[in-house]
Amino acid sequence: MSNTTQTMEPDELLRLESLCVHFPIYKGLLRRHVGDVKAVDDVNLTIRKGEVLGLVGESGCGKTTTGRSIVRILKPTSGRVLYKEADGTVADLARLNDRQLFKYRTDIRMVFQDPFSSLNPRLTVGDIIGEVLEIKGWKKPDIQERVRYLLEKVGLRPEYVGRFPHAFSGGERQRIGIARALATNPRLVVADESVSALDVSIQAQTINLLQDLQEEFGLTYLFVAHDLSVVEHISDRVAVMYVGKVVEVADKDELFGSPMHPYTEALLHSVPQPDPKRRRLFSVPKLKGEVADPSSPPTGCYFHPRCPYAQDRCRTERPLLRRLPGGRQVACHFAEELSLEGIPAVE
């Protein structure tokens, strides 16, 4: 069954409930199962219609795995991925097989991180963008018209339709990837580190393009990134992940101005500050140690070995992601007691 009786709030488009994606570890000649890499571990998250939800964290924290499980490139180990269709019907994408998922491939699309490896070098731009439309049964003249229209929308010339990917720069290739994602008029686009491989000037152009397309086509974005300056520029809300778990969710201005989780504070202040005068305004202690191993995480709060505010309770009791007055969510035992430093808003 593709549908479920689960109800969702009117403004919700997609909801993750206790989502887990674990990768088994096998050892020995007999390939015994000795453990799991918990890439995504009990994630609960909501994406609202028309918003940009930024998903941030250090490399290896599970951001990309979360995005790929939403578009079902990866099959969740457990949990639910609830998606509300245009008619209000709610489907659990985590339970569907490939045949049942076919209808949702139109609504949920992905822009990949690497603009060089994500495009097939053997296909022309027209074939790359139009391939999904051909699979959907479009006629060739309609496909050609749609491809030319999309190329114009992403700032490329329609005459490029017959060129191969090697003829384009990184920024142009990413625009082709964006056009491919928009080919089927999606409702949700998962942008996985979509600007991280680009030069800074090209990043700004691509971000502006994504914002323009969102406004024109009424898109919703899950914007996966590690560059907080980019996330601050484009996002409406921000979710912070650490070792497979969401540790804080808040509106952008609240999270950047007054973080409530120690990891969020450390992440914000890890961004290089070029102004020496502003540097001296902050007294945030630097993080020590390495990111925890997702195959063997520490007891209690996963962040406690690196947390400057950790107490005995943090070492033994795992904090749950809880909702505070005002709507923000945080997974820290002492969130209300800590006074953490944010960073000034972008002028």
Structure confidence at residue 284 (pLDDT): 67
Provide the whole-model pTM. 0.91
On whether the CB atoms of residues 244 and 16 are closer than 8 A, the answer is: no
Which CATH number do you get for residue 264?
Answer: 3.40.50.300
CA–CA dist 246, 251 (Å, integer) = 15
Q: Which of 99, 50, 49, 43 is nearest to 66 (CA)?
A: 43
347 part of a folded domain = no
169 part of a folded domain = no
259 part of a folded domain = yes
Structure confidence at residue 1 (pLDDT): 44
CA–CA dist 170, 340 (Å, integer) = 39
On whether the CB atoms of residues 202 and 171 are closer than 8 A, the answer is: yes
207 part of a folded domain = no
89 part of a folded domain = yes
296 part of a folded domain = yes
115 part of a folded domain = no
The amino acid at residue 86 is A
Structure confidence at residue 226 (pLDDT): 86
Mean pLDDT split into 10-residue runs, the chain, 347 residues: 66 96 93 94 96 94 95 96 94 94 94 90 96 93 96 94 94 94 96 84 89 95 91 94 96 94 90 60 70 92 93 95 92 93 67
Structure confidence at residue 269 (pLDDT): 84
Structure confidence at residue 289 (pLDDT): 81
* Total tally of structural domains belonging to the chain: 1
40 part of a folded domain = yes
Measured CA to CA in angstroms, residue 70 lies from 1, 184, 186 at distances of: 18, 17, 14
Domain that holds residue 21: 12-107+187-199+221-330
Structure confidence at residue 209 (pLDDT): 93
Structure confidence at residue 207 (pLDDT): 92
